[in-house]
A and B are shown apart, each in its own frame.
Chain A
Amino acid sequence: MDEDVLTTLKLLIIGESGVGKSSLLLRFTDDTFDPEQSATIGVDFKVKTLAIEGNKAKLAIWDTAGQERFRTLTPSYYRGAQGVILVYDVTRRDSFTKLENWLNELETYTTRNDIVKMLVGNKIDKDDREVDRNEGLKFARKHSMLFIEASAKTKDGVQCAFEELVEKILQTPGLWESDNQGQKVQLGHQEQGRGRACGGYCSIP
C-alpha cells in the first residue's frame, strides 16, 4: 500500500485545552465521536492516508495536549511539520483570544517559514456561540491562514478541513518531497523566498 503513496506529511494540531482537537482528529481518522473524550496525555498520534486528486498522501498527525502542564512537550513537534491545524472553540471567546499566543509559539518553533496553517473554529453545533464566523475569517486572513468552521460532533467541515490543508501543502512546491521509503520526512529542506504559503481561505457551506 505504501508504494503508491506520494508523500508523507507531518501535521500538527494545536490549540487551547478542551477546544476539541482530539475529537476533530478522531472524527477524521476513525469517524467516531466521544462526548466524554478525556484529556490528551502528552501527545497523541494517528496515521491516515488521504487521496487528493488521485494522489495519495500519508498523513502523520500529531495531536498535542492543550493542558498547560503538557505545554513544554509541544515545541518539539513543530519541527518538520508541513501543516498545522489551529483549533478554537466558537463557544469560548478565551480560546479565540489566545490564538495569538499559539501563533507566536508556532512562529518560534517551526523549522520552515512556508508551513501551511489552518484555523478551525470547532463546536458550531452548539447554540451558545461567542465567536462570530466573520471574526474567525478576519483573523485567518490577517495571518494568512486557511479557515473553516467545523463540528466534530456533527461531522461538519472536518473532512474538508484536512483535505484543504493537504491540498494546499501539495500545491506548495518545496514543502514536501516524494519519498519512496514511506515515513521519512526530511528536515531542513527549506526553500527561501517562497513567501507566505497562502493567502487563501476556503468557504464552507
Chain B
Amino acid sequence: MEEKQSHADANLSPDPGGAGTEDRGPEKMISRQLTEQSRFAFAALCGVSLGQLFVGSENSVFKQQYLQGLVQWLDLDESVMPVMGAFLSGLGFEGTDTFLSILQADPLVAAGATPIIQDLVSLSVKEGQYDARARVLIRHVSCLLRVSPQQLEEFEETLGERLREAGEESEEESSRRRRRERGRKLRRYLLIGLATVGGGTVIGVTGGLAAPLVAAGAGAVLGAGGAAALGSAAGIAIMASLFGAAGAGLTGYKMNKCVGAIEEFEFRPMSSGKHLHLTIAVTGWLCSGKYSSFQAPWCSLGECGEQYCLMWESRFLRDLGSAMTTLLDGLVSMVAQEALKYTVLSGIVTALTWPASLLAAASVIDNPWCVCLNRSAEVGKHLAQVLRSRQQGQRPVSLIGFSLGARVIYYCLQELASDKGSEGVVEDVVLLGAPVDGSEKSWERMVRVVAGKIVNGYCRGDWLLGFLYRSSAAQLSVAGLQPINIQDRRIINVDLSSVVKGHLDYMRQMDTILVAVGVPTKEVPGASFLLPQSVKAAEKTVDNLDQARKEQQNNGLEEAELDDEHISWSWDDPHWTTERSPK
C-alpha cells in the first residue's frame, strides 16, 4: 500500500525531490480537521469580516465566490450558504466575538492560529489569483486571531518561493537542478547577483537559486498541510498566473515606445526572492549625492513583499531636485523659510502672501515643477495600464510614494477607478506629501480600487508645496497639506508635521516617516529610527483600539505603531465602525 502510494507520487510530480511535501491528501489540512462548529465559526468569521471590510456592491461577486470557496474548502454543508450571504451583507456582526471564542477553544487552534491562517493563504492562491481583497481579509483575520504579521509574511514568502520552485522544476531538467543544488548558497548571496545582472533574467535565476533553500525548509515551515492542496501539477499553473506568465514580471516590463509623453518608465527590483505580494515605491525627485538614485530613499523599507522601484523621467526629476535644493539652500533665507512655515501653518495661503523674494526666485523652480506635474500624471496613467494588464502577476500590489511619486500613484488610482473590474489589484497605498487635489470627491472615487488602506501623510507647514501649488486651481485643498475628510475605513490621515520640516524632508527623513505611517522597516546601519517626541507612539493592541479610533476621528491622527525591531503593518479591525456610525 505504501509502495503504491509513493509510486503514485512519482507519477504526479516529475521531480521526486519535491514530492514529499506536496501530495498530501486534503484530509491533512488542518482546517478540515477542526470540529464542525469551529469550521462554521471560521467561515462565519471570514464572512462577517468580508462584510465589514468590503461594503460596496462592486465587491459582492468577489465576496460571494471567496466564501463559497472557503465553505467547500472547509467541507461544510452547502446549506450554510444563506447565512453566509447574510454575513456578507453586513448582518450578524455581533457574532464576531462568539466565532472567535469558538475557534480559539478548538484544541487544534489552541496552540496558535497560524495553521488555519496558512490554510487561508493556500486557499486564496489556489486558483492562481491572489486578490488584494483576500489578502486584506487574511490580515484582518490574523489580527483577530493574534497571528503576527511577521508569521504571515514568512509563510507567504515560503509559499511563494515554493510555488516558484514548482514552476522552475517543470521547465528545467533535474540534472541542471542538481548542479545548482551543489552550489547551494544562502539567499543573501543572491542579492549580489541581483545587483550585477539586469533585466528579467535576474528574477528567473533568483527563483531557481533560491529553490534549494526552500526545498530544505519547506516541509518545516509550511507545516502540516499548509500547502496540501497545492500539488505540484497545480503549482505550476498557479505559479505562472501568480507571478506573471513570462516569469519576468515587472522587471522584464519594457515600455512600449509608442507611449508618447513618457521618456522613461522602468521597474528596478529592490529585494530578492519571490513573494506573494509586492510593493512599488515611487520617488518624487532626484538630488545629487546621497539621493541621486531612485532607490536611495527606500533603503529602509522592510518586509513588504517583493520591492520594486519605479524609475521614471529621471532627467526632469533631477532638474526639479536641483531647483529645490537651490531654492532652499540659497535663494530663500532660513529666516524667511521659518516665517513661511508659519504662514502656511496659519492657513492663509493665497498668492498674495508670498514674499517678493520668493516670487523672484520662482522662475527657478516653476518650470521644472510644471513639467514634472504633467509628466507624473502621464506616468501614473501608464502605471495603471501596467497594473491592469497584470504585468506583476495576479498578486496584490502596494504602492508607496512621496511628493510627485505620490502624484504618480494618485493618477494611477484615478485611472484604475475609471475602469470597472480594477478592484482587488491594489492592496495598500501610502501617499506622502502628495501634490494632488485633496477634495473629497476625487478621493472617494479611488477608495474603491484600494482593498487595504490609503495613508495620506501630510505636513501642515510644508510651505514649498503650498508655494508650488499656488497657481493651481486646487490650491486650497492639497492632499499633502491637510487631512482628507472622508468617512471611510480605508483612509488614514497621518500628520507628519513634527517629522517633516520642509518638503525636502520627505526624502531625507524617509526612514522616520515610514515608521510613522506604519510601513514595515528594517534596520539600516547608520539610520536613526528615533521618532520625535511629538509623534505619539502607541502600540495598537485591540484593547486600546477604541481609544485610538476616537483619537483618529477627533484629530485625524494615525498613531505610529512602534516596536523595537519591526513595525508591523497591521490591520485595525474596528475601523469600519467609524464609517457605519458617523458622529
Does the CB pair A38–B95 fall under 8 Å?
no
- Cα–Cα distance between A38 and B77 once the two chains are bound (Å): 10
Residues of B within 8 A of A79 (CB): 94
* In the bound complex, CA of A183 to CA of B97 (Å): 21
Would you give the shortest CB distance from B78 to chain A, in whole angstroms? 10
User: Is B95 a contact of A69 with CB atoms below 8 Å?
Assistant: no
Residue numbers in A under 8 Å from B361 (CB-CB): none
Q: How many chain A residues have a CB neighbour from B under 8 Å?
A: 21
Q: How far is the CA of A95 from the CA of B92 in the complex (A)?
A: 27
Contact A45 B41 (CB under 8 A): no
- By the criterion CB–CB under 8 Å, are B37 and A69 in contact? yes
Per-residue CB contact flags for chain A residues 65-88 toward chain B (1 = under 8 Å, else 0) read: 000011011011101100000000
* Contact bitstring A34-74, B, C-beta under 8 A = 1, else 0: 00001011111111000000000000101000000110110
B36: interface (CB < 8 Å):
yes
Interface residues of B in 238-291 (CB under 8 A from A): none
Does B95 contact A73, Cβ atoms closer than 8 Å? yes
Chain A residues near B83 (CB-CB < 8 A):
42-45, 62
* Chain B neighbourhood of A183, CB < 8 A: 89-91
Quick one: given A60-B86, A69-B35, A76-B98, are A42 and B92 in contact (CB under 8 Å)? no
Whether, in the assembled complex, B12 has its beta carbon less than 8 Å from a beta carbon of chain A, the answer is: no
Find out whether the CB atom of B94 lies under 8 angstroms from the CB atom of A72. Answer: no
Also in contact, A46 and B37, with CB within 8 A (given A38-B77, A73-B102): no
Partner of B98, one of A41, A60, A73: A73
Contact A76–B40 (Cβ < 8 Å): no
CB of A65, distance to nearest CB on chain B (Å): 9
The answer on a CB contact under 8 Å between A76 and B36 is: no
Q: Is B545 an interface residue (CB 8 A)?
A: no
Q: Please, how many angstroms separate the alpha-carbon atoms of A79 and B94 in the complex?
A: 7
Shortest Cβ distance from A18 into chain B, in angstroms? 16
A41 to B77, CA, bound (A): 8
B44 CB–A CB distance under 8 Å: yes
With A60-B86, A70-B40 known to touch, is A41 a contact of B91 (CB < 8 Å)? no
User: What are 22 A-B residue pairs whose CB atoms fall within 8 Å in the complex?
Assistant: A38-B79, A41-B77, A41-B79, A41-B80, A42-B41, A42-B83, A43-B83, A44-B79, A44-B83, A45-B83, A45-B85, A45-B86, A47-B86, A70-B40, A72-B98, A72-B101, A73-B41, A73-B98, A73-B99, A73-B102, A183-B89, A183-B91
Which residues of A are interface residues toward B (Cβ below 8 A)? 38, 40-47, 60, 62, 69-70, 72-73, 75-77, 79-80, 183
13 additional contacts, CB 8 Å, given A45-B92, A80-B94? Answer: A38-B79, A41-B77, A43-B92, A44-B80, A47-B86, A62-B83, A69-B36, A73-B41, A73-B95, A73-B102, A75-B98, A76-B97, A77-B94
